[in-house]
């Protein structure tokens, strides 16, 4: 897999000095697959918050806006074939990301925009509600693809989701043409499902549950799905390859006792994943009222 003209990728998300969350796994994976990456950090942290207290540096909205404006005015902007937005450091950043997505679309109408609404997990929101609402209200309506986890989908659609059928309905209500629900309810016990929902149906990629998985899997699968779609793979193949890579990296990292994804040491999983992931089509036609 390699980039083609219009195959550069703009990543807008958090940056940590140490670890494998936010932009760290995303940029590494995309570049390992041959895609040139533009990276606009939204916040700078020494490490992920679960690993200890650390300083949090969020650029002032005016500074972030200036950086985004510089990028929007780049003479090579048409080379960007995909935009990925993830964690935001402030609600004001959502407007600038939206303007930047609009500028890229003007330069390259075929650009793919993936919004990863990084706002929380089972323990609740880990961004202010104003930031979560800004992502939901400003960025999701622009997205071609969204990759919420189950909690994020519940928060954005306002209901408890306890079944695959409910998750599919909520994903369709979210808006984007493709919605990948990570940590979706699985049919098999001790399994994890990644559920890709479109207007025509849904595909579930299931694999075994790995206890105590490192953080960063959501960032990684969003990047890999983007790379696979940009490379021209069909939905099922793009989903299966992305899920297999993440599963293999998680399993190998846990086996080595690592608290972070060993994305550099186990990078072969990005290019040629060997992990077994089962795919099944859930629906072959749109839901009817």
**SS3 state of residue 149:** strand
Quote the pLDDT of residue 1. Answer: 53
Burial 42-68 (b: 16+ CB within 10 A, else e): bbbbbbbeebeeeeeebbeeeebbeeb
Encoding tokens for residue 241?
């390859």
Quote the pLDDT of residue 183. Answer: 86
In a domain, 236, yes or no: yes
DSSP element (H, E) containing 269 = helix 268-271
**SS3 state of residue 44:** strand
Q: What is the pTM of this model?
A: 0.93
Distance CA 260, CA 229 (A): 26
Quote the pLDDT of residue 6. Answer: 60
In a domain, 2, yes or no: no
- Establish how many alpha carbons lie within 13 A of residue 63's alpha carbon, considering only the half-sphere containing its beta carbon: 10
Quote the pLDDT of residue 2. Answer: 45
Distance CA 250, CA 109 (A): 36
In a domain, 289, yes or no: no
Identify which of 193, 184, 198 has the alpha carbon closest to the alpha carbon of residue 246: 193
Q: What is the DSSP letter of 259?
A: S
Distance CA 140, CA 131 (A): 13
Quote the pLDDT of residue 287. Answer: 47
- Establish how many alpha carbons lie within 13 A of residue 108's alpha carbon, considering only the half-sphere containing its beta carbon: 24
Q: How many domains does the chain have?
A: 1
In a domain, 3, yes or no: no
Quote the pLDDT of residue 29. Answer: 97
C-alpha dihedral, 100 to 195 to 160 to 286, nearest 10°: 90
Domain carrying residue 42: 8-283
Return the bridge partners of 16, or none: 45
Encoding tokens for residue 179?
């919605």
Quote the pLDDT of residue 103. Answer: 98
Distances (CA, A) of 189 to 10, 32, 193: 37, 34, 11
Burial grade of 165 (CB within 10 A; 0-12, 13-18, 19 or more) = middle
Q: Running along the chain, 289 residues long, what does each successive block of 10 average in pLDDT? A: 68 95 96 97 89 87 97 97 98 98 97 97 93 98 97 94 92 96 85 91 91 91 97 96 96 94 96 92 58
Can you give the CATH number for the domain in which 26 is found? 3.40.1190.20
Identify which of 14, 36, 6, 1 has the alpha carbon closest to the alpha carbon of residue 242: 1
In a domain, 288, yes or no: no
Quote the pLDDT of residue 97. Answer: 98
In a domain, 122, yes or no: yes
DSSP element (H, E) containing 70 = helix 61-72
Quote the pLDDT of residue 289. Answer: 39
Contacts of 95 (CB under 8 A, 6+ apart): 134, 138
Q: Are 112 and 132 contacting, i.e. CB atoms less than 8 angstroms apart?
A: no
Distances (CA, A) of 47 to 12, 51, 52, 229: 17, 7, 8, 30
**SS3 state of residue 143:** coil
In a domain, 56, yes or no: yes
Quote the pLDDT of residue 3. Answer: 45
């Amino acid at each position: 897999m390699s980039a083609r003209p219009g195959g550069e990728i703009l990543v807008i998300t958090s940056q940590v000095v140490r670890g494998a969350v936010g932009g760290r796994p995303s940029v590494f994976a995309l570049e390992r697959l041959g895609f040139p990456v533009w990276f606009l950090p939204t916040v700078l942290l020494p490490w992920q918050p679960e690993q200890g207290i650390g300083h949090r540096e969020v650029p002032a909205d005016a500074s972030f806006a200036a950086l985004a404006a510089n990028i929007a005015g780049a003479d090579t902007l048409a080379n960007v074939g995909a935009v990925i937005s993830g964690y935001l450091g402030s609600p004001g950043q959502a407007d600038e990301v939206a303007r930047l997505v609009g500028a890229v679309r003007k330069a390259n109408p075929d650009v793919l925009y993936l919004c990863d609404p990084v706002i929380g997990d089972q323990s609740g929101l880990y961004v202010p509600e104003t930031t979560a609402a800004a992502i939901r209200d400003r960025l999701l309506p622009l997205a071609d693809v969204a990759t919420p986890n189950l909690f994020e989908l519940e928060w954005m659609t306002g209901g408890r989701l306890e079944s695959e059928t409910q998750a599919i309905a909520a994903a369709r209500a979210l808006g984007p043409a493709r919605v990948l629900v990570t940590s979706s309810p699985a049919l098999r016990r001790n399994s994890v499902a990644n559920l890709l929902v479109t207007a025509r149906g849904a595909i579930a990629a299931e694999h075994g549950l790995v206890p105590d998985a490192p953080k960063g899997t959501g960032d990684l699968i969003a990047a890999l799905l983007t790379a696979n779609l940009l490379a021209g793979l069909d939905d099922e193949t793009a989903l299966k390859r992305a899920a297999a890579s993440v599963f293999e990296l998680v399993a190998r990292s846990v086996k080595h006792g690592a608290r972070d994804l060993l994305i550099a040491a186990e990078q072969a999983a990005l290019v040629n994943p060997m992990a077994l992931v089962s795919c099944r089509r859930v629906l072959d036609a749109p839901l009817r009222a």
